[in-house]
Chain A
Amino acid sequence: MTDSIAPIESRDWLRRRSRWSPFEILFWLAALLPFILFPTYLPLASQIAIAALFAISVDLILGYAGIVTLGHAMFFGLGAYFAGIISVRGWGEPVSGLLMAGLFAGIIGYIVSFLITRVQHLALLMVTLGLGLLTYELANALHDLTGGTDGLRGIRTWPIFGQFKFDLWGYTGYAYTLALLFLCFLLSRRLVNSSFGLALRGIRENVKRMPAIGADHKGHLRLVYAISAAIAGLAGGLMAQTTNTVALDSLSFERSADVVVMLILGGTGRLYGAILGTIIFLVARDQLAGINPQYWYFGIGLLLMVVVLFMPTGILGFLARIVDRRK
């Protein structure tokens, strides 16, 4: 009897989950504020949007599927180099270049996922780290293609739709990155609130049970890993196009570690946590570095420690609890 009711309930549940709350609408409206209120912060805003997109890609695998990674900069960098290299080779059209960069990273991500799904825990962490560092060394070795440590030279991104030039103030840059962030967010939101997203959460909570209920958990993991890689590639491509720079740091361990830090800071498994964590980390960094360019990371370190001690579910988790309590 209950069998016939359950699907309807779960569909209801999913529908409820995918309904937009006023908070969300407010949040995205607020994302437009920099255009009006802080136009001199637009370059920072687009850097944050890019990092947030990258963090969302990590949240998809870490927060929803339980794949902890220390090497996701691999896909960010692959996307960045792909977008950069085709621009250097004469194709500077941003939108098509970006899509190709995302696709490229996604394909590599799918290939890599066959290795990733074989391991768990510390081994998983270290395999992702190893693959990331291998990619870094590869980019350094392919000096003629990538420009090595000096970085790729000669990236020229054409105006978007042949209309909107990337300007010094960063209006176009932020509009472009924000649009991409929003689109990818919509996609991710749909994904995690689908039955596929539910299956992922099932895997995260108990890997062993999933095969028992007939779910192809490895197939699910591979797919979400490829999607996540593609989104990371898009973020990297955006960086290459909006700044016309790509260098080895786009593939570095530091970038992989930073994105995980930002994500945990905001709170995992919530998508908005990725965005919020990125905003807080990068704004705090910018402000602290403005006060003292040499010791800013002391403050960042304290911030991380305080958040763990007092907000163990991340900043967003903390806020959500407060809101719940008010109700």
Chain B
Amino acid sequence: MLKRTAVAAVLGLGLTLSAGAMAQETIKIGVILPYSGPFADAANQLQAGIDLYIAEHGDEVAGRKIELIKRDTGGPAPDVARRLAQELVVRDNVDILAGFALTPEALGAAEIATEAQKLMVVMNAATSVVTEQSPYIVRTSVTIPQLNYSFGKWAYEQGIREAYTLVADYGPGIDAEASFAKGFTEMGGTIVGADRTPVANPDFSAYVQRVADASPEAVYIFVPGGAQPAAIGKALVDRGLAPPDIKVLGQGELTHPEALESMGETARGIITTFHYTLERDDPLNKAYVEGYTAANNGREPDLFSIGGYDGMHLIYEALKATNGDTNGDALVEAAKGMAWDSPRGPMSIDPETRDVIQTVYIREIQEVDGELQNVIVQEIPDVKDPLHGAAK
């Protein structure tokens, strides 16, 4: 043990020396994402958002150069995410941890942020509790209850009284089910049936048939992005479950660009809740979409991209506020209460919970200039995550 202590001391000394030499040089940001595996597309889009921000705003902040160090977790792997965070801190001497597309990975790395006292910017992972796991976590994406609680209320206000919920059987799906139902039933609505589909589910027909049997006024759907939105959308139409006979509600992934393209005409009338709307008519958003598609071979930005883009914005602004000081506490202080206009619309960081406060958009698929699009039918400004308050 004595030897171990001695080694640690020597290394510690080496570390401080090199840290001293590093000062005033580059600021290192460790980006932890599932670049490979089933969530590679999310990581890719998020990274493209980060890259776009750096391309637009230069790679120098407060006189110091920004360097990204990318690390792959290879899928939902919290133990790997934690190890990578550890290594980024002790080996690469990063100043800031960022990325985190998946909740379990954010939870896995949270302890490291606390221990190393580094700012940790969560750019996607959308479960409420994430920001409560470390005082150094700031989130720039969205939380699922934030979107769906107000959506449930809104649905009731639109005259819907009975709804059936159909969600993917995993953390985010269950959160979505609970918060939509909460908002909806608090107003006086009734949930007439609730089913959960396996996360990796290649065929929805059975579940959709169950919904058809219940013939509710509205069906609320939550499935992970990727192939499932289009699959479930088409399964619904095959059963005759389409607007205007039944209201189809869901979170924004349901009508993301690829899903829309695949669903075609059948998507008409689907109503979704989201924090980012690609088609939103706004100069900032227009410029963002243009820049993004130009840099990415025509691929359009999605929720992951905007999380990465705004995450970088937060890092840049916080660094400006501290004048390049990368001390974790100083950066978190700078981030608290920060407010800005993002391509998604006005947003800010709640000084109490370090979570994002933003406008929730309710959109309906309508035809615009001969093309089906998400058209915003209602804006609900300054929505906070409803669960953070509830816990206190």
A interface residues with partner B (beta carbon < 8 Å): 35-36, 39-41, 43-44, 47, 137, 140-141, 143, 147-151, 153, 168-171, 175, 239, 243-250, 254, 289-290, 293-297
Known A40-B87, A149-B170: A249·B76 in contact at CB below 8 Å: yes
Q: Mark B3-17, 1 if CB is under 8 A from A, else 0.
A: 010011001000000
With a cutoff of 8 Å between Cβ atoms, the chain B residues found around residue A153 in the complex are 107, 129, 133
Closest chain A residue to B72, Cβ basis: A293
Q: Are B79 and A243 in contact (CB under 8 A)?
A: yes
Is the C-beta of B383 less than 8 angstroms from some C-beta in chain A?
A: no
* A189 and B221 alpha carbons, distance in the complex (Å): 54
Extra contacts, 13 of them, besides A43-B82, A153-B129, A239-B79 (Cβ < 8 A), are: A43-B86, A44-B87, A47-B79, A149-B170, A150-B103, A169-B11, A170-B90, A244-B82, A245-B82, A247-B104, A247-B108, A254-B75, A297-B36
Known A35-B4, A44-B83, A169-B8: A149·B36 in contact at CB below 8 Å: no
Q: Total number of A-B contacts with CB less than 8 angstroms?
A: 119
With a cutoff of 8 Å between Cβ atoms, the chain B residues found around residue A151 in the complex are 78, 103-104, 107-108
Closest chain B residue to A150, Cβ basis: B171
* A170 and B90 alpha carbons, distance in the complex (Å): 10
Q: Mark B83-110, 1 if CB is under 8 A from A, else 0.
A: 1001101110000000000011001100
Closest chain A residue to B82, Cβ basis: A243
Q: Are B36 and A39 in contact (CB under 8 A)?
A: no
* A99 and B7 alpha carbons, distance in the complex (Å): 30
Q: Are B199 and A140 in contact (CB under 8 A)?
A: yes
A-B contact list, 16 entries, CB within 8 Å: A41-B87, A143-B174, A153-B129, A168-B86, A169-B11, A169-B90, A244-B111, A245-B79, A247-B76, A249-B76, A249-B77, A249-B78, A249-B104, A290-B71, A294-B35, A296-B72
What is the size, in residues, of chain B's interface with A at 8 Å between Cβ atoms?
Answer: 44
With a cutoff of 8 Å between Cβ atoms, the chain B residues found around residue A44 in the complex are 83, 87
What 6 pairs between A and B have smallest CB-CB spacing? A40-B91, A293-B72, A149-B170, A151-B104, A245-B78, A150-B171
Q: Are B35 and A171 in contact (CB under 8 A)?
A: no
* A36 and B71 alpha carbons, distance in the complex (Å): 25
Q: Are B83 and A43 in contact (CB under 8 A)?
A: yes
Closest chain B residue to A243, Cβ basis: B79
With a cutoff of 8 Å between Cβ atoms, the chain B residues found around residue A248 in the complex are 76, 104
Q: Mark B52-90, 1 if CB is under 8 A from A, else 0.
A: 000000000000000000111011111110110011011
B interface residues with partner A (beta carbon < 8 Å): 4, 7-8, 11, 33, 35-36, 40, 44, 70-72, 74-80, 82-83, 86-87, 89-91, 103-104, 107-108, 111-112, 115-116, 127, 129, 133, 169-172, 174, 198-199
What's the minimum C-beta distance from B252 to chain A, rounded to whole angstroms? Answer: 20
What's the minimum C-beta distance from B178 to chain A, rounded to whole angstroms? Answer: 11
B-side binding surface: helix, strand, loop or mixed? helix
What's the minimum C-beta distance from B169 to chain A, rounded to whole angstroms? Answer: 7
* A35 and B116 alpha carbons, distance in the complex (Å): 20
With a cutoff of 8 Å between Cβ atoms, the chain B residues found around residue A169 in the complex are 8, 11, 86, 90
* A169 and B9 alpha carbons, distance in the complex (Å): 12
Most buried by A among B8, B89, B104, B108: B104
* A67 and B224 alpha carbons, distance in the complex (Å): 37
With a cutoff of 8 Å between Cβ atoms, the chain A residues found around residue B76 in the complex are 149, 247-249
Q: Are B72 and A149 in contact (CB under 8 A)?
A: no
* A141 and B35 alpha carbons, distance in the complex (Å): 28
Known A148-B174, A150-B107, A168-B112: A294·B40 in contact at CB below 8 Å: yes
Q: Are B116 and A168 in contact (CB under 8 A)?
A: yes
With a cutoff of 8 Å between Cβ atoms, the chain B residues found around residue A47 in the complex are 79-80, 83
With a cutoff of 8 Å between Cβ atoms, the chain B residues found around residue A249 in the complex are 75-78, 104
* A248 and B199 alpha carbons, distance in the complex (Å): 12
* A289 and B75 alpha carbons, distance in the complex (Å): 13
* A243 and B112 alpha carbons, distance in the complex (Å): 10
Q: Are B170 and A148 in contact (CB under 8 A)?
A: yes
Known A140-B199, A171-B8: A293·B107 in contact at CB below 8 Å: no
Closest chain B residue to A300, Cβ basis: B36
Known A151-B78, A171-B4: A294·B36 in contact at CB below 8 Å: yes
Known A149-B170, A153-B129, A293-B36: A40·B79 in contact at CB below 8 Å: no
